[in-house]
Structure 1
Amino acid sequence: MNLIQFELPKKGRRVGLINKDKVVDLTDINTAWTHTYYLFLEANRNGKTITAYLEGFSLGDADTISYNQLLASYSGDPNGWILPVLDHPSVGSCLISGTGLTHLGSMEQRAQMHTDVTEKTEEKKTDSQKIFEMGLQGGKPSLDSRGVQPEWFYKGNGAILRGHNDFLDIPDFTDDGGEEPEIVGCYIIDDDGIPCRIGFTIGNEWADHQMEKVNYLWLAPSKMRNCAVGPELVTDEKFQNIQGYCRITRGDEEIYHSGQLLTGENHMSHSLSNLEDHHFKYPQFRVPGDVHLHFFGTMKLSFPNRPSFQSEDKIEINFGGMGASLINRVRQIPPSITPTMVKKG
């Protein structure tokens, strides 16, 4: 089952079910389902998954709209537009995080990025190489044991979430952005504090690789950017062998194509269960009602194999079995060296 969230100007927020080239308006069945979040809570409190719960409703009576029309629309379009696949009614209760160095290609690129500042490490291996090898050796444990922990990073809360056809910003305090084509795990913590994976979606993690290249200890602030997820939440993806691509265009010119991208457990140094364990082992990440979006890493970045991004550059990410491509445009915020001021409270 593939779900989306969208907005219609005259009706407000909606949850939809993809049915070929149509979107079944689930909010037309129950007006309380303005967020996938609320649909999950209702299903979970009835002891069912979203998919099983919806089987008890007659979807044929619901309104439908053109999916192609939504895919072509932008925020504010009078015909409606697509929202991020999962969020929380309160942006502070949606936590966005991720893991990296889970794919072979990512380790090679990261090691090259950090060689200048880490070439004197033990056996001339970078920290990136070392942590990737730790994953190869202990990242896929048996289900009854805990494996080695992966890299982990924080991105922000729901305020940084963007949807399909939305802008990804290059902030006023930096010179570039950087796409990261990934699969994202989508989770809601139930009333008992148990993390529930409701599905996967395509994500563009959007970071600043120029900043990271200066010093690898700047990796943490390089992640503090907005990001995009969607357009579809896939509830039955097995996350084993997913193939895709990323392409960047500037007007009619293609300035980057990734070639084949591989992700899923078959192409990673960690199992899905190990990545989830090392995120949700922290009690503060199991607060009932919270939403978590967790990026699982990528095998390849365009940096440094493209010119610097410019406003209106278009980034398209596609993964087989994950529904329609995620498309975003770049927006350069005018540079500024004016500091952010704090006043006495």
Structure 2
Amino acid sequence: MRLMQIRTEEGGRAVVATVGSAKDQRSYIVPGYTTIYDLARAAIAAKSGIVSLVEAAGEGAAVDRAALLASGRVLGPIDHPDPAHLLITGTGLTHLGSASARDAMHKTAAVAEETLTDSMKMFRMGIEGGKPAAGKVGVQPEWFFKGDGALLVGPGEPLTAPSFAQDGGEEPEVAGIYIISDDGLPFRIGFALANEFSDHVMERVNYLYLAHSKLRECSVGPELLVGPLPDDVRGRSRILRNNQVIFDEPFLSGEANMSHTLENLEHHHFKYDFFRRPGQIHVHTYGTATLSVAFGIKTEPGDVFEIESEVFGLPLRNALAFAPEETVTVTAL
């Protein structure tokens, strides 16, 4: 089952469910719910899975998902009544990449420890300890903070880099969407496509600039997959300039293509009690191995990022924009 949030023709909100196989799927309004946040809280209160709750609600009016997306009425698949209580975070160096990249990694792993970069050391730690035996805790991944719900933009909306940014680059990823119950327990609502928008030029100046490079908007959706994530997720990441494709490469995700299990990534995020405050929403991106900047692409304002995978239904599209320059001064009180 996949879920979407939409604006209705009357200006309200609704939740849309899509069920069935690719050849025989149907999409309809879920009666009784206007947000996925409310649906998730209701599922926790009922001690029920979301699928069971949606099925119990019955089927409302049928909808055309593609037409809704084209009309601009599709919202992001998660939000919070108070954006400050939605946290956007992520992990890096978690994906194996292509066969050639893996081969290069294996060769490098034989090099003396002191010659490895910090990034390669972290990557190798994940290879060796990111998938622990059942009941064990694996090595912690690289982790970063992006922002709160104010930086989460919906499908079709521009991803706006600050005026001082040196780059506006896409990162095609899968994000886990989580909610914290009233008694402080994390629940996974589902998974969505994500564009974990970053400044790769700034990051490459020095790895200690990673934190700066990640403080950017990001986008998720349009649809949220409820249930397990397939082990092998395959999709494509594209950039269009003046309606012409200038970049088109496959991206891989899912545990078969990762050096960490999802369970391990989740453990090392939610082990902090600060991330288990009642009512919080978490959008946690899992990383990627496909970046256009690695292919020599320099993005420009107006470029359109397109990320798609059959697993997630509709594609995620966002145009690149840059904010106007502004001067910020601090006033002493």
Query: Is the structural similarity TM-score above 0.5?
Result: yes
CA–CA distance in structure 1, aligned partners of residues 128 and 115 of structure 2: 19
Match of 2:108 in 1: none
Local SS of the residue matching 1:284:
helix
Displacement, 1:267? Answer: 1.0
Displacement, 1:67? Answer: 1.3
The answer on 1:153 being equivalent to 2:157 is: no
> In the alignment, is the contact (CA less than 8 A) between 1:181 and 1:204 conserved in 2?
yes
Displacement, 1:243? Answer: 0.8
Note closer, same or farther for the CA distance 1:54–1:290 as it changes in structure 2 (3 Å cut). Answer: same
Which letter maps to 2:331?
Answer: K
Superposition CA RMSD, Å: 2.2
> In the alignment, is the contact (CA less than 8 A) between 1:3 and 1:232 conserved in 2?
yes
2:257 aligns with one of 259, 267, 280: 267
- Matches for 1:71-110 after TM superposition, within 5 Å: 71-74=69-72, 81-105=73-97
Displacement, 1:184? Answer: 0.3
Deviates more, 1:47-56 or 1:291-300: 47-56
> In the alignment, is the contact (CA less than 8 A) between 2:239 and 2:305 conserved in 1?
yes
Displacement, 1:13? Answer: 2.1
CA–CA distance in structure 2, aligned partners of residues 99 and 256 of structure 1: 24
Match of 1:325 in 2: 315
Displacement, 1:108? Answer: 6.1
CA–CA distance in structure 2, aligned partners of residues 239 and 224 of structure 1: 29
1:24 aligns with one of 23, 28, 34: 28
CA–CA distance in structure 2, aligned partners of residues 282 and 344 of structure 1: 34
Local SS of the residue matching 1:231:
strand
**What is the TM-score when the length of structure 1 is the normalising length?**
0.87
Displacement, 1:96? Answer: 0.5
Note closer, same or farther for the CA distance 1:255–1:306 as it changes in structure 2 (3 Å cut). Answer: farther
Deviates more, 1:315-324 or 1:65-74: 65-74
Per-residue CA deviation, residues 45-90 of structure 1 (Å, 9 max, x unaligned), is 011011111222221xx2233212112123xxxxxx1111111110
> In the alignment, is the contact (CA less than 8 A) between 2:130 and 2:259 conserved in 1?
yes
Displacement, 1:343? Answer: 2.8
CA–CA distance in structure 2, aligned partners of residues 231 and 247 of structure 1: 16
- Matches for 1:195-234 after TM superposition, within 5 Å: 195-234=186-225
2:65 aligns with one of 61, 64, 67: 67
Displacement, 1:95? Answer: 0.5
- Matches for 1:190-339 after TM superposition, within 5 Å: 190-258=181-249, 260-334=250-324, 336=325, 338-339=326-327
Per-residue CA deviation, residues 157-212 of structure 1 (Å, 9 max, x unaligned), is 00000111110112111132110000000100112211101110000000000100
- Matches for 1:161-200 after TM superposition, within 5 Å: 161-200=152-191
CA–CA distance in structure 2, aligned partners of residues 22 and 176 of structure 1: 40
Which letter maps to 1:63?
Answer: A
Displacement, 1:11? Answer: 3.2
Match of 2:15 in 1: 15
> In the alignment, is the contact (CA less than 8 A) between 2:191 and 2:229 conserved in 1?
no
> In the alignment, is the contact (CA less than 8 A) between 2:239 and 2:246 conserved in 1?
yes
Per-residue CA deviation, residues 201-230 of structure 1 (Å, 9 max, x unaligned), is 000000000100111100001000000000
> In the alignment, is the contact (CA less than 8 A) between 2:14 and 2:35 conserved in 1?
yes
> In the alignment, is the contact (CA less than 8 A) between 1:310 and 1:332 conserved in 2?
no
**Identical residues among aligned pairs (%):** 43
CA–CA distance in structure 1, aligned partners of residues 259 and 317 of structure 2: 28
Local SS of the residue matching 2:293:
coil
Local SS of the residue matching 1:230:
strand
Match of 1:117 in 2: none
Deviates more, 1:122-131 or 1:223-232: 122-131
Per-residue CA deviation, residues 239-281 of structure 1 (Å, 9 max, x unaligned), is 41111110111013211112x2221111111111100000000
CA–CA distance in structure 2, aligned partners of residues 238 and 165 of structure 1: 24
Displacement, 1:105? Answer: 3.2
CA–CA distance in structure 1, aligned partners of residues 331 and 18 of structure 2: 49
Which letter maps to 1:34?
Answer: T
> In the alignment, is the contact (CA less than 8 A) between 1:248 and 1:315 conserved in 2?
yes
CA–CA distance in structure 1, aligned partners of residues 136 and 151 of structure 2: 35
Displacement, 1:43? Answer: 1.8
Ranges in structure 1 where 5+ consecutive residues have no aligned partner? 75-80, 113-120
> In the alignment, is the contact (CA less than 8 A) between 1:21 and 1:66 conserved in 2?
no
CA–CA distance in structure 2, aligned partners of residues 146 and 122 of structure 1: 24
Local SS of the residue matching 2:41:
helix
